[in-house]
Amino acid sequence: MARAIAIIVARIIFSFIFFMAAGFKFADIGATAGYITAAGFPMATFLTWIAAFFEIALALAFISGAFFTEASLLAAVYVIFLAFAFHGPSHWQQNQAEFGFFIDHFTFLAGLLFAVVHGPEKWTLQHSLLRRS
């Protein structure tokens, strides 16, 4: 039972983080687009919208358990991309705190990889749909 509770709490945390990230993007698309532009990416507004909807999809996958393993793997790739693109070595000279932000992404990566291996536990949307068939 403790294992199931821990996995569900982790799913809620993952979901909350991605819902919150998307919410910040939706709250000020322009500011996020400016941040993306400053990192050197083209079509920043478009990328902001794509990122926000991707984060919503990840959050829904984590909370429902649907496509959990796939979502965990995609989220892991996304988190590492974000670490290098926005907090990587090129940012450390301007602000040493960026190194801490960079490292934080790897702790998040560890949790996501653990989720890939261990799955969503038994309370999932997919599990419920399969049992009715």
Domain range for 87 is: 2-132
- Greater confidence, 122 or 16? 16
Residue range 118-128: mean pLDDT, rounded = 70
Q: 3-55 pLDDT, tens per residue?
A: 888 888 999 999 999 999 999 999 999 999 999 999 999 999 999 999 999 99
State the total domains in the chain. Answer: 1
pLDDT digits (tens, 9 = 90+) for 48-106: 999 999 999 999 999 999 899 999 999 999 999 999 999 999 888 888 898 999 999 99
At 90, list the tokens. Answer: 């090129």
